[in-house]
Chain A
Amino acid sequence: MVENYNFAVFSNDQAGILNRITAVFSRVNLNIEALSVCESEQSGVFRHSVQVRCEHATALRLSKQLERQIEVIKAEFQVDDDMIQQEVALYKIASKSMLEQTLTEQIIHRHHARILSMNSEYTVIEKTGKRDESQALFDDLSVIGVLEFVRSGPVSISKPMANDAMSSDMSFFKQHATCDADH
């Protein structure tokens, strides 16, 4: 069954490692639906969050191929249900309409969004939430006219406690992950 899989790939800080990670997915013709990179809770270790739609068997195979990369410390994946996800959306609208229409304020209020920046020309609205929530706000604002719209793509964090936080001993993880991959 094709599902949304959220990969968390932990790597050393080396130029080119992102290409190696994305190539594991593109090689099997998978589109990356969302991607974000940040330093993890462990200093010097980077977390690449990659979201793809694929079968479970494919996800399992790809996670092992990701761990095969020399600079990758650990690769794990989870389905949406096991993740808490959020994304940020920004909307730019003309300030004129803002001043003229209380409707806009009502929309912002109703969607629990907030005004991030405002001047005489334009207003930037920020909404944090799930994909359908930011989409709903977009749809409502479209009546007024959205000049520019951008979405961060989801960032996700795992729900279960089974995966302990990154240990300071990275080699432990790799050993653990590879040996138990199939048992």
Chain B
Amino acid sequence: MNTVSMISDAMNLSETKVLPVTETISGSQAIIKSLLAEGVSQIFGYPGGAIMPTYDALMDFENQLEHILVRHEQGAVHAAQGYARASGDVGVCIATSGPGATNLITGIADAYLDSTPLVCITGQVFAHLLGTDAFQEIDILDISMPVTKWNYKVTQASEIPAAIAKAFYVAKSGRPGPVLIDITKNAQVESLDFVYQVCRNLSSYQPYPRPNQMALAQAASLINSAKKPLVLFGQGVILGSADTEFLKFAERIGAPLASTVLGLSAIPTDHPQYVGMLGMHGNYAPNKLTNECDVLIAVGMRFDDRVTSNLEFYAKQAQVVHFEIDPSEVNKNVHADVAVIGDVKQTLPELMKQLDSNEHLAWMTEFNELHQVETKKIIQQDLSPNTKEINMAEVIGGLNDLHENPIVVTDVGQHQMVACRYAEFEKTRSLITSGGLGTMGFCLPAAIGAKFACPDRPVVGIVGDGGVQMTIQELGVLMQHKLPVKVIILNNQFLGMVRQWQELYFDKRYAATKMNNPNFGMIADGYGIANHQVTDREELASALKVMMDHPGAYVLEVMVAQQDNVFPIITPGASVADMNLGPLDINTNTEEHEERVDG
């Protein structure tokens, strides 16, 4: 039988010189043993008919493989994402066929866009029932195809070890991504001669392209001669564990450093060369000066439209050097004058050999001056408002003041942008947020996953009143596992970001954004989770302290201004250089209103 070699050419068992010890076990046991062989110790999931044999086998391995029962499969996949992004390891989730599998899709799509390594295992009906519309049969392979890096249907037990080995290899190598393995019930109950071999290469897959030496030389020459270089860094630095290499490179060339949303925390926020966040709600200086730099150096980022805004007006004056692991990202949105394809952990040190030491003091001063403008017009008011109501930003400021260096996990919307703008980071992998897909409901389960991955670090979820209600049932996991995750609900009783767009771009017609919310404290009480509601500014600092000092899970609801907006903003369709610093700056005659925003 040839199935093993069909899955992975690296798994040609007959060639193994010393034949590993095989044992005859069930497919379900093989699934568990394969996970253990990959070093997995925690998985997130929800049982159901087609995956029951695997859950049954799990009981025999409880001491080695902890299963965390979520309250909805979407929670399982987001938790696996949070786990992966906090730890750098592959996150694993498991669900049954049909609805169990389809409920994973949003999280898989999220992981696909944010390059998060996941292995998702779904049960499937018996192989002989495939295609018969059997109970809970759905073709999850086809459904998940556009949002997985790779997926595979296992229909016989003998395929299991090779399929799982390949899944882990594909998920974590190169540009990481989610993988789904669909395993029919007969494959789980049949037996096989089990032997596990880690997958290390695939002939059709080149995860780490070797950098082109000529491109490296061209990049070095451009960077050396730049008068106004600007470095944009993204999650590639974090995913490649290249923060040290990146900092050495950045300090050598002395250029200002700006982060994408997903790049945040790759370098400490207080680094002297750090000039802030890029994009629609990013900082004024790096956005505006994108259109004044002479060499734009993009490191592990993909020029998302939220970063570039209108491409016709994006950095047209600059020579672009793009360091990127995924060749399909080069020249996708922004033309690269020089593209260095490869893992930045490898390319940056090679580049260093050819780089001159430099500093750009006058150029840095331009950033500082614009930052002063932003401080005066926005940041000061955000962090120390003279309004009666509490601002979202001052909650983040209060959290910074405690210097606990938490992993910050956000949901999607206004609070997300405020957290990204104001949270201060010391360590890498300290911000977990849904960047590409913008998935509301991400925060709570992702925070759970992050806490399981990093039990020694404080984990603070920052979530809106809208997003928290999308996955609020996962409070049950905090209860069951006594997991000390801190959840700050920034409650403005609106789907705030959509409301902001309605105010700015839709003639203040507030369609379906006002929310009548439940008593979040009573909900937390229902789960036995300590909680508190803050309405007065005077109370805020002490309430945050109480929350962080509390030994267990905690829900802190902060009532914030209903009509608050996130500024600055780049109006959709405008240039990055035309950032609006406040409501008076807004030109409401925009061409482009069709984009989706979330609350």
Contact = CB atoms under 8 A, between A and B. Distances in A.
Nearest to B202: A70
Interface in A59-94: 60-61, 64-65, 67-68, 70-73
Interface in A1-22: 11-16, 19-20
Interface in A35-66: 60-61, 64-65
Interface stretch (A100-108, A109-117, A118-126, A169-177): A169-177
B-side interface mostly:
mixed
B423 to A, nearest CB: 33
A68 B6 contact: no
Contact of B203 (A60, A65, A73, A180): A73
B330 interface: yes
Contacts of B146: 23, 27
A143 interface: no
B209 interface: yes
Contacts of B212: 179-180, 183
A165 interface: no
Nearest to A11: B204
Contacts, number: 80
B215 interface: yes
Interface stretch (B96-104, B148-156, B301-309, B555-563): B148-156
B332 interface: yes
A173 B259 CA distance: 34
B202 A182 contact: no
B341 interface: yes
B127 interface: no
A43 to B, nearest CB: 13
A178 interface: yes
Given A67-B328, A180-B212, A183-B215, A19 B142 contact: yes
Given A179-B341, A182-B339, A67 B142 contact: no
A162 interface: no
Interface string B486-517: 00000000000000000000000000000000
Contact of A61 (B145, B332, B339): B332
Given A179-B341, A180-B212, A16 B141 contact: yes
Name which of A60, A68, A175 has the most chain B CB atoms within 10 A of its CB: A68
B214 to A, nearest CB: 7
A181 interface: yes
Interface in B320-342: 326-328, 330-332, 336, 339, 341
B210 A175 contact: yes
Given A14-B152, A68-B327, 9 more contacts: A11-B204, A64-B328, A71-B150, A72-B204, A170-B204, A171-B203, A174-B204, A179-B212, A183-B214
